[in-house]
């Protein structure tokens, strides 16, 4: 597999970063019916939808702002020297249109779009949107049986229901995903959990199911390398999904989110944890809960774009190697 | 009817305006089961709910910010000298708790709360929330047959449906209200309509039904006094509901809203139109679409509070006179 | 001439307004080498460049933010009912890449791009960028002799030079354009001029050349209709360029600009003046000086988008009629 | 009297407006003991003090921000062509240092500083600070008997006391000034009064004293020219002080203030009313209540600077003529 | 002692967090004359007052914003599992009304209110307001002799006077408290001190008195656990007051304050230090200097609410145990 | 050498920090032709110029905002107790006026101004402006041969050219400086380098030249003390220039900059690295890339001022000692 010139991001030397219609990392934009889709290896897909949000809305505006700030991403990783766009063909696959008035319909649309992406043998990287978006993505990803999960977040999102029985909110997606057989609890790890709690219902469920929770206290005590080594052991070599809630990061570094929890990691650690996913068999990923109305000057969206590039630099070499075989 | 000392707003001379837990106009806060409710004449009710919003969310945060800025309202009208709190007993009746995950349930809760308010013979003034909130309020208000409507807005909100059939959004409430027999189209007037349009479906529906639309061009040509005289003629002396979308006002004066339209009235005219409702038989009112995430320094919420006070100064004298009979 | 389905903007009923990669008015995006260019009648072209700015920079970010807010524009004019996208084929032609390090090269690139647009028989509507951008556009537009100019602005931009001899800044473009024979001074009108002045050099030059200046005092005294009737008489039926500096509008309505002048028109008047250009033989237009760093919540960019739509509703019927002949 | 080169503001052609330490209108900065003071005709004096503020603080930061934005003022009036810096010598006299912990001491300091300014035969133009600042200025100005007052504001500031007897707040200065014999009530006019009221105490006091109040309703009904003609008649040719509370202007145009009242004049009218003071025997002036924490992007401070320049263009010609005699 | 249902915070499952009039942690609001006060164990009291501020004002708005953001606090501690509202009865006791025009009167009012709280055997937790507020609180708390002090701050607040002799500013409260015999210097520890200094006067006073100062350099060198173990030794088991100036935390995590000092702890450490107060005999506490005008999107207020909850989780178990005896 | 009273900063006890025209650290302001210049030891010089910026402009406004926030700096270092203003005479030397329309002329002006400063035997500390400003400063500093460089930054700024051959942008200054013989590559160290890269061209150039690059990963691994010991070894005792790009610091601590890179040091480390420069033979320094349009509430400018004070506390003792010899 080689790369196609058409899949290189526009360079800031050719078109200044403030110019041009912004796509994810300045990649070519193509719809799901575009014939070039067949050549794509990794596709970024926007999920501008936040109907699962129970407090402060805004993530529906996330994909647009992440695209805007992602124009500041360049082509080469600063530490590893990886040049992902030379290794695999990447594209911006646009946004899945939600139905603001119908939650179930919106979820169906996401599942359908991601299914189409995967049928084209494109690895999906979704950009939310709130965390409920992960559920319909997983429905399209876990088609051959439950997958493993590396989950960065300050919340477990494992609650049963909200507001007198509502099963689908941004606090419940992974409970649903386990119940639906999309996730293998024994191959799940949640990292960064903190903040005040309603009660222990979510943690008891996790304990019952065998989901491993690494609180922020444990995270800081052990350090990134040790924690992530355990995470890699937990998911092993089976197919694994990575979900990254931007509220994993401390709100000083990522203020633009609806349900912040103080006392979190720095932006350096925010990147490190992703870098430590090297070797994991990632079959899909998402980054969610960027909320532009709370994101002064776009810093949270830029951090999100930096995390997405870090993800890509973990995914691309493995994908390129696999295809080379 | 006299007034009860307990219903006077806290004065800024006693408690500085920045101090204290903010209620609407610093009135006493009471739940719907509070025994004092029987003494209340006009009740402000928060509707923190925006599930009907089709673009930029935020009005769910409206009631809280309007309460905050309403602490700057004093006890006497600057022009007429009306002192509404001396004429009628007013109170903050708190917020109706929406169900963020269930639109129909949320509407039912609003209807139930307003019904309870009206059963206590309290005139409801609702503070949204998005414009879909007006529909469940009207269901509780129009219990004795269709009512008239004075509607300040830049949009007609008379569309049939959105997004492939969704009947309940903030672009459809008055279409539904007409269909449900809550409004008498012949006694409806919409003032300030402007902005780009999807098509003419809403205006054709209005024309068919006999709803009078006064565009912003006509409004500026004729002036406030002439337009409002016509509005009073249209609604006559029958029971009338007043609904005020803050996007009626030009976004320079009211930036904090989700669907602004440029080219609107000033804040002076925003108050004038309400003042010209004197003599109208108002049975309920609302002010909607204040969206704090877009409201730098609270100016829109302060304008909203000023409009609400203007409404009160129209409602209170008539109510006091009626009770005196 | 009919319209092609492919040139319709995406409707907010199909794709919510917060979703999708934003193009001008949600029109199809195409490069200048796209074969579809031959079908286009009106092309929006971004000029993200502000090297001519002498005080507060920022307009380089203008096209991106105008695109974002223009997603709130719908397909039909609210007053006239004109549906421009049914009359002519419109497209977003992307941005001209400036050279941030070379002013003359940047101007050459703009002239080249607009020339290419015009050779494809597409009417260019440019979105700046600062006001110096108008000069290279005019070089591409006035290829058959000097054109007339309707110029909305708070400044004349007729100065000779800045900073000890600099000929090319955003305060000099129309002086240069007259000198270069691109504009016919006798067919030029500048509307809205106000604010403190360095001296009278610009006004004396205007008087010498026969350029008509209508100050804001005269504008308010006479009213929009009378002023614009004179403007139409001045430019007559010859080819005319329209240039709109957003600082024409009062900074309460358009804070997002680098050189505001208080005491300007409202947003309603901002649209009216464009509407009154009906019948003018417009061969090109621009809207400049939107500066996102000063534009809280995007209100200025939304006003800019509304003005651009108003321009389009003046241009499209005449163009459609001309082609129908 | 001629002007001294040393008193010209720095031109934006020599030093870009964003460069340099900002002084009022880029004038020379000099302390009150500077020997050049003897040459000064009009002196701008900062009063960074807001201990009289009863609600939202911030005007203490006003002088600094007004200086910053006043760098955008140029040397010539756009309408009249007056070049004030060619007519009289102007200077920035720095700030009077308040004592944040002692209100009476702060007032004494202001009176002392303004007295020193006047002894040097410099006409003082003060920049607040909150409106209580006007009182100590008046104590230094009205040394030869009560003066007349033209007062632009949305509030009368004529209350007796606040908070159980506090005599010195920003709601009481002109009551105190009348009591102290600094103002002649028969030569006082208050323009723009509006907003909700505590009660009628202030208006009754005004009526008793013969102070003329022109409400905003009367202002809009009669128009600027008619109202200001009356204002000129009221103050006549006796010595007159001009006080301008920025909350006179509608908060859409001047959001940066602590006690806004909606429904006010535009920025165009904000300048017009000052322009109509031509011929008035102004012996001192102030502009107060600019509050930077509420002034997004500095628009209010720029309006304030524009008003100050307008004041200067009224003061300078008369002063130059008087001196020429 | 059991808990009373009436003292449970409103759950986000019942009333969404954006709804309802915000009280501290959604607890019941009651005035000091409310008969329920007798049942309260811990009372949150707002002190909206900043007359002691020597630079940038704003903390007067602090209690209101902390209440707003505290609606995001849930019922259970994430690490320890402590559920404070199940252990003790908590309430929001409203705000003490300051007299903006009289500093000494304001201090008297605070002392009186806290005395009343303590007479009802309620442990007071005050929310400022600026740091001078701690002095009148201490006057009500140290009624049985001097108490110990754990003081988190970037400044010592031990200066003698400001501005030529002013004894009461936010830089002097603990000097006064020692002089008045309210604090036992030998049982005082100040943690986090940093930033530029006027001189060494405060530190020399501390050294003379035996007050222990732990600079931020020592804090980072030794780590939280070691430093806090020393703090616990210093205050021992005697009655101890805890005062927390939000500017203890680095301004990246807590920008909303008037006198920030860079180079401070993270938000994680901000919580840790409180958690390490377990076992201390806390008789009162405060959190001060949250300044909403500088707090974009409320992050500082949310951190403050998180710290208050952390305090409560230290106070409640000890109080419950003591009462159980 | 003693200090002159006239060179002491104005104390916040005499003039509150919010009052007065702000100069760097409230030092006396003097032009380069001021006779007092001969007495100055260290001069702060503003370089309000950003024509080298390739993406988001704004640093032209940097010097003004740094001056404003530097009013919060006091006279004594909190850790070392150094009182720099007692050791050396410091002054604010104003701004070098750039020519916004001519990059080469602007660079010449900076070089000329710094040369004049150095001829007066004043050590220059420049405040940008963008990073290209360092080049003309170095041209004035390295007059006796190449100097060493301690360079704090997230970018190497060692690129050859941008945009098809532009040699002078904020990404190229140190490449030019090496080529021009202004810097000794063997005595250069760059600290904090991180972020995505265009390619490896800059790093290869560094390697070829012998420039030492310490990435952020190495920085965090080794710690400040170890890294800075190496830095001191690299530059040795030869004349050394210190350049500090504020984007060295993590954007959570320094959001106000145009090209942020996440994953950087804290504000504590930002000061530490400077403190570790003790003993270095500093002959000039700068701090660049503070961009006010992105600096909410001035936090970045305050950090910049704190870093400048830290620099001064390293420079002053050495300078005083040298002069004492």
Is the Cβ of C23 closer than 8 Å to some Cβ of chain A? yes
Whether residue F270 lies within 8 A of chain E, CB to CB, comes out as yes
Task: Please state, as a whole number, how many other Cβ atoms lie within 10 Å of the Cβ of residue D302.
Answer: 27
Residue predicted with more confidence, A33 or E163: A33
CA distance F94 to chain D (A): 6
In the predicted model, residues of chain A with pLDDT beneath 50 are 1-4
C-alpha separations of C262 from C132, C217, C221, C306 in Å? 22, 12, 17, 21
* pLDDT(E228) > 70: yes
The CA distance from E144 to the nearest CA of chain A, in Å, is 36
C169 touches C162 (CB < 8 A):
yes
The residue assigned the tokens 């004096």 is: D45
Rounded CA-CA distance A302/D183 in Å is 59
Touch between chain F and chain B: 3 or more Cβ pairs under 8 Å: no
> What's residue C5's pLDDT?
60
C54 lies within 8 A of chain F by CB: yes
Q: Which fold has domain C24-324?
A: 3.40.800
Whole-number CA gyration radius for chain C: 18
Residue from the list E197, E217, E260 with its beta carbon closest to the beta carbon of F74: E197
Percent of chain C with pLDDT over 70: 98
D22 touches F: beta carbon within 8 Å: yes
pLDDT recorded at residue D81? 93
Pairing of strands F123-128, F212-215: unpaired
Query: What pLDDT, on a 0 to 100 scale, did the predictor assign at position F235?
Result: 98
Instruction: Name the binding residues of B for Mn(2+).
Output: 131, 153, 155, 157, 245, 247
D101 Cβ contact partners less than 8 Å away, ≥ 6 residues apart: E52, E54, E103, E162, E163, E166, E168, E169
- Give residue E5's pLDDT band: very low, low, confident or very high (50, 70, 90): low
Check residue C180 and report its DSSP letter: T
The packing angle between helices D267-275 and D299-324, to 10°, is 10
- d(CA D82, CA B262) in angstroms, rounded, equals 35
Minimal Cα–Cα distance from F57 to chain A, Å?
10
Taking alpha carbons only, the member of D322, D300, D239, D310 closest to residue D274 is D310
Tell me, what's the ipTM? 0.93
D147-152 sheet: strands from edge to edge: D90-95, D42-47, D123-128, D282-288, D240-245, D147-152, D183-193, D212-215
> Each residue of C258-278: pLDDT tens digit?
999 999 999 999 999 999 999
Cβ atoms of residues F40 and F29 within 8 Å: no
For F141-192, what is each residue's pLDDT tens digit?
999 999 999 999 999 999 998 877 889 999 999 999 999 999 999 999 999 9
Residues of chain F with pLDDT under 50: 1-4
Residues of D in contact with E163 (CB under 8 A): 99-102
CB C261 within 8 A of CB C194: yes
Chain F residues close to A302, C-beta within 8 Å: 251, 260, 262
Contacts of C266 in chain B (CB under 8 A): 250, 252, 263, 266
CA distance E277 to E266: 18
Q: Does the beta-carbon distance from A250 to E271 stay under 8 Å?
A: no
Considering CB atoms only, which of A163, A220, A294 is closest to E297? A294
Tell if the CB–CB gap between B64 and E18 is shorter than 8 Å: yes
Domain ranges of chain E: 24-324
Distances (CA, A) of D117 to D32, D124, D140, D299: 7, 7, 9, 30
User: How close F196 gets to chain A, by Cα (Å)?
Assistant: 5
Q: Does residue D131 have a known ligand-binding role?
A: yes
* Closest Cα in chain C, distance from residue A2 (Å): 26
Expressed in angstroms, the distance from the first to the final Cα of chain B is 10
Task: State the smallest CA–CA distance between residue E251 and chain F in angstroms.
Answer: 7
Task: Name, in order, each residue with C-beta under 8 angstroms of C205's C-beta and a sequence gap of 6 or more.
Answer: C158, C160, C175, C211
Residues of chain D with C-beta less than 8 angstroms from the C-beta of C198: 11-13, 74-76
Radius of gyration of chain A (CA): 18
**Alpha-carbon gap, residue E109 to B298, rounded angstroms:** 30
- The size of the A-F interface in CB pairs under 8 A is 90
- pLDDT of A5 reads 60
- Shortest distance between the Cα of B302 and any Cα of chain D, in A, equals 8
Q: Residues 282-301, chain D: which have Cβ within 8 Å of C?
A: 296-297, 299
Determine if residue E202 is labeled as part of a ligand binding site.
Answer: no
Output the average pLDDT for chain C: 94
Best of F165, F252, F253, F300 to disrupt the A interface (most A CBs within 10 Å) is F252
Contact C290, C256 (CB under 8 A): yes
Indicate yes or no: CB of A78 within 8 angstroms of CB of F195. Answer: yes
Kindly list the residues from chain D whose CB atom is less than 8 angstroms away from the CB atom of residue F19: 46, 48, 60, 63, 95-98
Instruction: For residue A78, give the nearest of A268, A262, A286 by alpha carbon.
Output: A268
Is B107 in contact with B25 (CB distance < 8 Å)?
no
Whether E18 has its CB under 8 Å from any CB of chain B: the answer is: yes
Chain E residue with minimum CA distance to F70: E196
pLDDT tens-digit readout, C138-176: 999 999 999 999 999 999 999 998 877 889 999 999 999
Report the distance separating Cα A305 and Cα A319, nearest Å: 20
CB atoms within 10 A of CB F259: 22
- Determine if residue D157 is labeled as part of a ligand binding site: yes
E97/B48 CB distance under 8 A:
no
Q: How many whole angstroms separate alpha carbon D138 and alpha carbon D114?
A: 9
- pLDDT reading at C2 higher than 60: no
The one-digit pLDDT tens for each residue of chain D (325 residues) are 334 457 889 988 888 999 999 999 999 999 999 999 999 999 999 999 999 898 899 999 999 999 999 999 999 998 899 999 999 999 999 999 999 888 999 999 999 999 999 999 999 999 999 999 999 999 999 999 999 999 999 999 999 988 778 899 999 999 999 999 999 999 999 999 999 988 999 999 999 999 999 999 999 999 999 999 999 999 999 999 999 999 999 999 999 999 999 999 999 999 999 999 999 999 999 999 999 999 977 999 999 999 999 999 999 999 999 888 7
Are C12 and B193 an interchain contact pair (Cβ–Cβ within 8 Å)? Answer: no
Judged by CB atoms closer than 8 Å, whether chains meet at B163 and A100 is answered as: yes
- Whether residue D100 and residue E293 make contact (CB cut-off 8 A), yes or no, is no
| pLDDT beyond 60 at B166 | yes
Chains E and D touch (3+ CB pairs under 8 A): yes
Residue to test with chain F: of D11, D12, D17, D20, most F Cβ within 10 A = D20
Confidence at residue D3, expressed as pLDDT on a 0 to 100 scale: 42
The binding site of C consists of 131, 153, 155, 157, 245, 247
Mean residue pLDDT of chain E comes to 94
DSSP-assigned beta bridge partners for residue D193: D215
| Residues sharing a CB contact under 8 Å with residue B244, sequence separation 6 or more, in sequence order | B152, B153, B274, B285, B286, B287, B288, B307, B311
With contact defined as beta carbons under 8 Å apart, do B188 and C68 qualify? no
For residue B99, what is the nearest residue in chain A, using CA coordinates? Answer: A163
Find residues 125-184 of chain E whose CB sits inside 8 Å of chain B: none
Under an 8 A CB cutoff, do F198 and A303 touch? Answer: no
Neighbours of chain D (3+ CB pairs under 8 A): B, C, E, F
pLDDT > 90 in chain B, percent: 87
Q: How far is C294 from chain D (nearest CA, A)?
A: 6
Q: Which of B50, B163, B294 sits opposite A101 (nearest CB)?
A: B163
Q: How far apart are CA C157 and CA C160, in angstroms?
A: 9
pLDDT in tens, C103-144: 999 999 999 999 999 999 999 999 999 999 999 999 999 999
- For the annotated binding site of A for Mn(2+), the residues are 131, 153, 155, 157, 245, 247
Q: Scan for tokens 């029987």, then name that residue.
A: B38
The helix/strand/coil state of B111 is helix
- HSE value, Cβ hemisphere, 13 Å, CA-based, for D171: 22
**What is the mean predicted confidence (pLDDT) over E313-321?**
96
Residue of C nearest to B195 (CA): C78
Q: What residue in E sits closest to A214 (Cα-Cα)? A: E79
Contact A238, E51 (CB under 8 A): no
- Under an 8 A CB cutoff, do F296 and A297 touch? yes
CB B91 within 8 A of CB B3: no
* DSSP at F144: T
SS (H, E, C) chain D: CCCCHHHCCCCCCCCCCCCCCCCHHHCCECCCCCHHHHHCCEEEEEECCCCCCCCCCCHHHHHHHHHHHHHHCCCECCCCCCCHHHHCCEEEEEECCCCCCCHHHHHHHHHHHHHHHHHCCCEEEEEECCHHHHHHHHHHHCCCCCEEEEEECCCCCCCCCECCCECCCCCCHHHHHHHCCCEEEEEEEEEEECCCECCCHHHHHHHHHCCEEEEHHHHHHHCHHHHHHHHHHHHCCCCEEEEEEHHHCCCCCCCCCCCCCCCCCCHHHHHHHHHCCCCCCEEEEEEECCCHHHCHHHHHHHHHHHHHHHHHHHHHHHHHHHHHC
| Position E165 confidence tier, pLDDT thresholds 50, 70, 90 | confident
- Decide: B161 and B172 in contact? Cβ < 8 Å: yes
Could you tell me which residues of B are annotated as the binding site? 131, 153, 155, 157, 245, 247
Residue C189 has pLDDT above 60, yes or no: yes
Test D16 with F48 for CB contact under 8 angstroms: yes
């Amino acid at each position: 597999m080689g790369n196609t010139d058409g899949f290189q991001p526009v360079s800031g030397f050719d078109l200044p970063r403030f110019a041009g219609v912004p796509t994810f990392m300045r990649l070519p934009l193509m719809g799901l019916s575009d014939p070039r889709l067949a050549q794509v290896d990794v596709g970024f897909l926007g999920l501008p939808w936040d109907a699962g949000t129970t407090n402060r809305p805004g993530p529906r505006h996330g994909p647009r702002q992440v695209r805007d700030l992602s124009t500041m991403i360049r082509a080469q990783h600063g530490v590893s020297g990886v040049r992902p766009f030379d290794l695999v063909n990447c594209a911006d696959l646009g946004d899945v249109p939600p139905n603001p008035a119908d939650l179930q319909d919106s979820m169906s649309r996401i599942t359908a779009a991601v299914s189409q992406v995967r049928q084209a043998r494109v690895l999906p990287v979704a950009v939310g949107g709130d965390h409920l978006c992960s559920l319909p993505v997983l429905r399209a990803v876990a088609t051959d049986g439950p997958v493993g999960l590396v989950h960065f977040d300050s919340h477990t999102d494992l609650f049963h229901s909200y507001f007198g029985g509502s099963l689908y909110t941004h606090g419940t997606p992974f409970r649903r995903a386990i119940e639906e057989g999309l996730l293998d609890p024994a191959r799940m790890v949640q990292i960064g959990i903190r903040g005040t709690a309603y009660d222990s219902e979510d943690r008891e469920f996790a304990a019952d199911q065998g989901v491993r929770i690494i609180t922020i206290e444990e995270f800081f005590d052990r350090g990134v390398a040790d924690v992530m080594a355990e995470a890699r052991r937990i998911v092993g070599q089976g197919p694994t999904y990575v979900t990254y809630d931007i509220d994993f990061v401390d709100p000083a570094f990522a203020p633009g989110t609806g349900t912040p929890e103080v006392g979190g990691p720095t932006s350096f650690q925010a990147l490190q944890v992703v870098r430590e996913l090297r070797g994991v068999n990632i079959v899909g990923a998402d980054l969610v809960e960027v909320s532009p109305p709370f994101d002064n000057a776009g810093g949270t969206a830029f951090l999100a774009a930096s995390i997405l590039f870090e993800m890509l630099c973990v995914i691309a070499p493995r994908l390129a190697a696999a295809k080379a075989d």
